[in-house]
């Protein structure tokens, strides 16, 4: 009897253990409150992402990010509306043959339309990536087909082979080459996107782009800080520059574009062989935060803060980076506390002004840290809701 009782007890314990594993496997994080708040504040019924602080404009970047977050939350309704609006209003009705113009808004006569039809490659790669992964995760081949056709256009119009550097992504089809000088934006190059493209399309330029990214980040960073814009001249290398021209042009800085470099670096898979090199290239931010309460709003080319106390979205953006960096636990806790302290309970948004761009940075950072999404070793999107 004792043997039988022991066997039953072990069987019950095993059953309980397996039940707990099953519950854990089926346990979902639940609705993504920040995405719900974001969608209600910044996405209209048609699927247009609106930037209230930018004269209610819409950008291809905003549409691309919206698509990604909708996929991450298994939100097909918003996904399709975002996709349809983007295609109909920014891509001449067909993303398969037209990359989206980057800016849509009200012109001087009061007409709402595309204001700048030049595509922005950061939006294009995020949109193509999201479509390819949506097709795989939702088992909808039409999304994958559309994403791959966008990849073909990107390869044809926004990829160049720079002498002495190799293959890389330029910010858009026109306006970024001046003689033997090319203007580049380091934040347009999340490594995991191009690693995924290389897996999906081995014959494309994507593996070569991925191989050039660590060097580009390392050599374009100034005193360990990512810069918004840099120029590349063969034989001379990289130099921080400003996108603005003329007498009113500001000095080169690392600011609202560059903050994403730390975000993308922190979200790389821990198994990625290039992660340590990329984190080391922009180690200046970690060193800065040892003695400062928040990331700088603008950092100069000498590594000195031009404007301190960046917005709350900057604190969110550096969280994955700080978690990935060694010996940054204290800085992580400090920035996490700043982020938590600036959440508005009534709106569900973050920051004193609850800016549109801040919410995008917070969505990326918190969605990643909450394990709603991860990027695998080959850049594949790993989603909490899709796990078996």
Residue 11 contacts residue 325 (beta carbons within 8 Å): no
Smallest CA-to-CA distance from 173 within 230, 231, 117, 118 is with 118
Indicate which residue of 51, 122, 133, 195 is catalytic: 122
- The CA distance from 45 to 139, in Å, is 25
- The CA distance from 262 to 318, in Å, is 6
Q: Within a 10 A sphere around the Cβ of 344, how many other Cβ atoms?
A: 12
Measured CA distances, 304 to 191, 262, 263, 281, 310 (Å):
27, 17, 20, 17, 14
Dihedral sign of CA atoms 321, 322, 327, 329 in order: negative
Provide the CA 305 distance to its chain's centre, in angstroms: 24
Run of H or E residues at 71: helix 60-72
- The CA distance from 315 to 313, in Å, is 5
- The CA distance from 369 to 384, in Å, is 12
What are the φ/ψ torsions at residue 252 (nearest 5 degrees)? -60, 140
Residue 313 contacts residue 355 (beta carbons within 8 Å): yes
Measured CA distances, 83 to 47, 50, 94, 169 (Å):
8, 15, 10, 23
Indicate which residue of 61, 133, 358, 380 is catalytic: 61
Smallest CA-to-CA distance from 168 within 139, 194, 148 is with 194
Q: Is 94 a catalytic residue?
A: no
Q: Is 61 a catalytic residue?
A: yes
**Residue 343, helix vs strand vs coil:** strand
**Residue 368, helix vs strand vs coil:** helix
- The CA distance from 196 to 210, in Å, is 10
The residues carrying an active-site annotation are: 61, 122
């Amino acid at each position: 009897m004792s043997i039988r009782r022991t066997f039953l007890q072990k069987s019950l314990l095993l059953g309980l253990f397996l039940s707990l594993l099953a519950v854990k496997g089926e346990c979902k994080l639940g609705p993504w409150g920040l995405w719900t708040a974001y969608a209600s504040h910044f996405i209209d019924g048609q699927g247009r992402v609106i930037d209230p602080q930018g004269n209610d404009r819409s950008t291809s970047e905003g549409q691309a990010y919206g698509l990604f977050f909708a996929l991450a939350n298994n939100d097909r309704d918003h996904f399709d509306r975002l996709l349809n609006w983007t295609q109909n209003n920014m891509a001449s009705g067909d993303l398969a043959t037209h990359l989206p113009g980057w800016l849509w808004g009200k012109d001087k006569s009061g007409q709402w339309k595309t204001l700048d039809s030049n595509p922005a490659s950061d939006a294009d790669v995020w949109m193509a990536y999201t479509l390819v992964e949506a097709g795989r995760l939702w088992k909808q081949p039409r999304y994958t087909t559309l994403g791959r056709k966008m990849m073909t256009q990107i390869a044809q119009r926004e990829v160049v082979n720079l002498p002495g550097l190799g293959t890389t992504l330029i910010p858009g089809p026109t306006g970024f080459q001046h003689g033997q000088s090319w203007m580049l934006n380091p934040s347009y190059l999340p490594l995991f996107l191009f690693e995924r493209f290389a897996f999906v399309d081995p014959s494309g330029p994507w593996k070569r782009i991925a191989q050039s990214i660590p060097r580009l980040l390392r050599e374009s960073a100034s005193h360990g800080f990512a810069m918004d814009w840099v120029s590349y001249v063969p034989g001379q290398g990289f130099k921080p520059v400003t996108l603005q021209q003329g007498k009113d042009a500001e000095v080169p800085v690392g600011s609202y574009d560059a903050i994403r470099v730390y975000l993308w670096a922190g979200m790389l898979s821990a198994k990625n062989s290039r992660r340590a090199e990329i984190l080391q290239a922009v180690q200046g931010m970690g060193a800065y935060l040892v003695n400062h309460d928040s990331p700088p709003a603008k950092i100069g080319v000498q590594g000195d803060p031009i404007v301190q106390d960046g917005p709350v979205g900057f604190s969110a953006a550096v969280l994955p980076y700080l978690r990935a960096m060694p010996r940054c636990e204290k800085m992580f806790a400090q920035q996490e506390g700043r982020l938590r302290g600036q959440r508005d309970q009534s709106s569900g948004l973050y920051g004193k002004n609850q800016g549109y761009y801040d919410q995008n940075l917070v969505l990326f950072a918190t969605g990643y840290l909450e394990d709603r999404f991860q990027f695998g070793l080959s850049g594949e999107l790993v989603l909490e809701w899709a796990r078996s």
